[in-house]
Structure 1
Amino acid sequence: MHNGRLFTLVGGIFGLIGLVLLCVTIALAASTASFLASAQRTDGTVVELTARTSTTRNSDGYIRRSTTWFPTVEFTVDGRQYSFQSSTGSNPPAYAEGESVPVAYDPDDPSDARISSFWSAFLAPLITGALGLVFTPVGTLLFLKGRRLTRRRP
């Protein structure tokens, strides 16, 4: 395959992936912002830290294990107790058992709740947005370079 066509193809794929990631970012951020705008706030308590260990093997055969800690939070609304496990984990743990944390919950369905912090709320949109901001311009530059090389070819 000619270099120009290869650059055009790879650039198109990278650019498309970048645009999809940016669209996902917008959807995630809008959903989170909408939830937080209508959510009620209360304080909860971290009652448990759950470890999830993942194992990966690199090309040299080296096995790497990493553990991520996910907090389980309990809170009370109108005398009824609710609990949820955060979808955002970290290593080292971001919270300690017994620690008080701010909670945002849906007033119509208090079981729909999350820790009300910037990182817990916007980590996913930040990651997809950062990847989209890398893939889109790299893809665009590769695509344009490929088109220019294709036009120069005799």
Structure 2
Amino acid sequence: MHNGRLPTLVGGIFALAGLVLLCVTIVLAVSTASFLASAERTDGTVVELTARTSTTRNSDGYLRRSTTWYPTVEFTAGGRQYSFESSTGNNPPAYAKGESVPVAYDPADPSDAQIASFWSAYLGPVITGALGLVFTPVGTLLFLKGRRRT
């Protein structure tokens, strides 16, 4: 391989991945904003915290366990009781059992609901956006550096 081909190839892949991540960010953010704009709001109560434990092996070969807590929230809409588990978990838990939380739900389908906080709603777009904002310029710089060498 010539001197500039590897940085050009790697840079192109990183830049393309970054652009895809930025597009995903836009789609997620617009979808979330659209949902929140049309959603009804009410208060819900955290009725349960579900623990999910994952195990990974660190660079020294030791197993590392971490537990993430996902709140289950109950709320009332149209005289009926609904319940959902948040897709966003935390360690330590972000909410306590019995705590009141704001809920946004689709008035046409109240089972489609989420905790109405910034991090619960926009964690996905924040993560993909941050990765896209790192990958795109780094990939572009590698790509251009590799192109100059060839």
**Common fold by TM > 0.5:** yes
C-alpha distance in 2 between matches for 1:133 and 1:3: 27
Tell me the amino acid that sits aligned with residue 45 of structure 2. Answer: T
Match of 1:30 in 2: 30
TM-score scaled to structure 2, two decimals?
0.98
Q: What is the CA distance between 1:107 and its match in structure 2? A: 0.2
> Taking every aligned residue pair, what percent have the same amino acid on both sides?
87
Q: Where do 1:1-150 residues align within 5 Å?
A: 1-150=1-150
Q: Secondary structure at the match of 1:3?
A: coil
Deviations 1:70-115 (A, max 9, x none): 0000000121000000000000000000000000000000000000
For structure 1, the residue ranges without an aligned partner over 5 or more in a row are: none
Q: Which amino acid aligns with 1:45?
A: T
* Number of residue pairs aligned between Structure 1 and Structure 2: 150
Q: What amino acid sits opposite 1:129 in the alignment?
A: G
Q: Which runs of 5+ in 2 are unaligned?
A: none
Q: How far apart in 2 are the matches of 1:71 and 1:82? A: 14
What is the TM-score normalised by the length of structure 1? 0.96
- 1:40 & 1:3 partners in 2: Cα distance? 58
What is the root-mean-square deviation of aligned Cα atoms in Å? 0.6
Distance 2:59 2:75 in 1: 45
Runs of at least 4 residues off by over 6 Å: none
Deviation at 1:3, TM superposition (A): 2.6
